Amino acid sequence: MAEALFINGCGISTALGQGVEQNLLNLPQASKFLTSLDVGLSDDTLRVPYYMVAEPGRDAGPDRLRTIIDSVVSDAISEAGLSSEQVVRLGVFVGSTSFDVFGSEEFIRCADKITDDVISSSLTTFGCLASYIKQSLGIKGPEYTFNTACTASANALMYAVDMLRAGEIEHALVVGLEFSNDVTTLGFHALELISQHGMRPFDSHRDGLYLGEGCGAIVISRHKTAENQFSFVSGANIGDTYSITSTEPEGATIAEVIDLAVKQAGINPSDIQAVKAHGTASLSNDEAESAGLRRYFGSAIPPVQVYKPMIGHTLGACGINELILFCHSIERGISAPYCEASQFESDLGIQLLTDLSGRQQGYYLLNYFGFGGNNTALVIANTL
Amino acid sequence: MNIYSSSTFYQPISDHLPDLKGDIKAQFGKNIRRIDRFIQLSMLGAGRCIGDIALPEKTGLYMTSVNGSLSNAFSVLREIYVDKQPPMPLSFVNTVSNAACFYVAKQFGIQANNMFVTRDHFGLESALKLGWLDLMNERVEMALVGAVAQCAEPLAVHRKRLKVANDADMGEGSHWYLMAKSLDGCDPVAILHGLNEYIALDDLVTKLPSNLDGIALGFGVPVEAEQLLSAKAMQVKRWHPELAYYEFTTGYAVTELLSQPQFKGKRWCHIDANPSGQYSVVDIERC
């Protein structure tokens, strides 16, 4: 069995609020926090539904991202109880798809005239936010920034664990971050992936997703430094080349990546208590994910939890954001199906998780899939 | 860890960006559609590295770049803010850098771990490290590791980005390595003894192996460190200081150490430093 690593501290900021408590409190009434983002086009203004971090809002300027990151990272480190010497030696692992594109767009919007020079000058490096985190906290440890679409922060976590197990670092700070920007908004609009009628993963009436902003951070270590009861057990990744925008539809790759993660954990499929599904509510990806779950679990698919209807699809950040919400929901026994069981009609053989009581101890599977054919599965354990 | 192959695709850039479609057709015998310049540079280098080697089923792909596809990011922003139009769907998807991983994986039939990892400094080392970890953990049998740097127009702005003079030469390209613990029917070209990163100069000096034939210095290494290191090997030299503008001088140097005949049987370290005064070491022994 793989050596378990301890999730000692968490911080999160989503549309539901700042901190784990606010997020859990607002999960059942998440739809109240859905707003929209307006993007000007030549012939119209496009209004796109969006779960956005409220404070600081988009009008706070280019420092907004750093303000949000600071508070989330501070929460995670504080909860983990790390000393200042331990903070200096942290390894930093960041996952995102858009990094500081928000800042680039602010730079362009503020220009007197938008020229090719202005646009080109606006571009920043992928590593700029990891560098910022290290500089602001005086961290001297290694940094890794992952850009593998919607699996980015899940992959960041997986390799952070490898570095911990290899003894190269003592503690890792893993950060997922995704902030609203016109490129992502218009890109998903152009791909016709934005829902018009409400986000309903695995439901027969699903028609796409809502985008979401979010930043999540965890401190993970080889030793328990805080009272959190969750540990990371194993993870696996497979790239498939079926399509650059969707996962192989028969579910073979998804079943394979789940199988790898579960085998590495040294457990059996029947040990999985529940699944945190990727659940984008797009026609093809929900089909592929449910096909993968059926292939792997047969007729005994564990109940499925999804978080994207409540916080939006936070893309590269969803690896950490959804892990934090899942762990704390299990710990508190908070079931948060996005709709009543009577309103859920699935043609995909999926059963939503509606009752967490009695399920707390054991193993849980988390799925993440992204553009570029990137597929990641993680196994975590609740040791009580 | 063994290295079985390496490659460089590099071209100097002065006043314009040469079209790469002809290179793609010459190397792969066909046009490959829907790929931007960054992906073209990736595939040209990867193809040279793989050559005739039959990749094992479990080959992982690990790519790195500081800026990714600058030209694609530029054109998407231009569509949005100048043309006031949504980006073309494929251009948007290619803004996510693992799009390049997808096309490389598809071209060469790679179906295992697939990562795009990056840093402002020591980028190649980050990709080598992930490949190393997956090989050590036996998640993959072989690791294909690549570092890609692209020039983008307007070239005057690109020079500013790289902090070089208005008339300075620039360059773009990719550097690739195939690593494995062992490979049936193939002899390694080198042994990668170790990757050491983010270490202080004092630690670096004490940890360097005693039997080094040479040390190749990256342009981040300050003069005072060069003096300290000069006692640690027969030769200590700055590697292509004229390429100081280039993001992947480490890749350039390591590939030369792996391919040029005078390094056969020799053990060299490539050492670079970041602006915080931390060092990275790539320790290689040619077979």
Q: Domain count of chain B?
A: 2
Res A227: pLDDT: 80
Angle at A126 between CA B176 and CA B215, to 5 degrees: 45
Q: Name residues 323-382 of chain A within 8 A of B (Cβ).
A: 370-374
Mean pLDDT of B90-107: 93
Helix axes B37-50, B98-108, angle to 10 degrees: 40
Final residue of a structural domain among B180, B203, B223: B180
DSSP state of A4: P
Structure tokens at B80: 């949005």
Q: How far is B70 from chain A (nearest CA, A)?
A: 8
- Look at residue B185 and tell me if it is in a domain: no
Res B120: pLDDT: 95
Of A89, A94, A144, which to mutate for an interface test with B (greatest number of B Cβ within 10 Å)? Answer: A144
Predicted structure pTM score: 0.97
Q: Are residues B118 and B164 in the same domain?
A: yes
Q: Are residues B89 and B148 in the same domain?
A: yes
Q: Domain count of chain A?
A: 1
Res B188: pLDDT: 97
Partners of B133 on chain A (C-beta within 8 Å) are 159, 162-163, 166
d(CA A128, CA A137): 14
Phi, psi of B180 (to 5 degrees): -165, 160
Q: Are residues B207 and B88 in the same domain?
A: no
CATH number, residue A91: 3.40.47.10
Q: Give residue B211's domain range.
A: 190-286
- Look at residue B22 and tell me if it is in a domain: yes
- Any B CB within 8 A of A282 CB: no
Q: pLDDT exceeding 90 applies to what percent of chain A?
A: 89
Mean pLDDT of chain A: 95
pLDDT at A384 > cutoff 70:
no
Q: How far is B237 from chain A (nearest CA, A)?
A: 26
Q: How far is A44 from chain B (nearest CA, A)?
A: 9
Q: Model confidence over B2-55: pLDDT tens digits? A: 999 999 999 999 889 999 999 999 999 999 988 999 999 999 999 999 999 999
Q: Give residue A184's domain range.
A: 5-382
Q: What is the DSSP string of B110-123?
A: --S-EEEEE-SSSH
Contacts of B129 by beta carbon, 8 Å cutoff, 6+ apart: B195, B197
Mean pLDDT of A203-230: 93
Q: Model confidence over B139-161: pLDDT tens digits? A: 999 999 999 999 999 999 899 88
Closest CA in chain A for residue B114 = A239
Q: How far is A162 from chain B (nearest CA, A)?
A: 7
Q: Are residues B176 and B195 in the same domain?
A: no
Q: Model confidence over A13-68: pLDDT tens digits? A: 999 999 999 999 999 999 999 999 999 999 899 999 999 999 999 999 888 999 99
Mean pLDDT of B207-228: 94
Final residue of a structural domain among B155, B180, B205: B180
Final residue of a structural domain among B131, B160, B180: B180
CATH number, residue B228: 3.40.47.10
Q: Are residues B219 and B268 in the same domain?
A: yes
> Does the distance separating the beta carbons of B158 and A120 come in below 8 Å?
yes
Mean pLDDT of chain B: 95
Q: What is the DSSP string of A173-223?
A: EEEEEE---HHHHHHHHHTT-B-SS---TTSTT---B-EE-EEEEEEEESS
Q: Are residues B267 and B130 in the same domain?
A: no
Partners of B156 on chain A (C-beta within 8 Å) are 117
Q: Model confidence over A231-273: pLDDT tens digits? A: 999 999 999 999 999 999 999 999 999 999 999 999 999 999 9
How much of chain A is in helix, strand and coil states, percent to nearest 5?
40, 25, 40
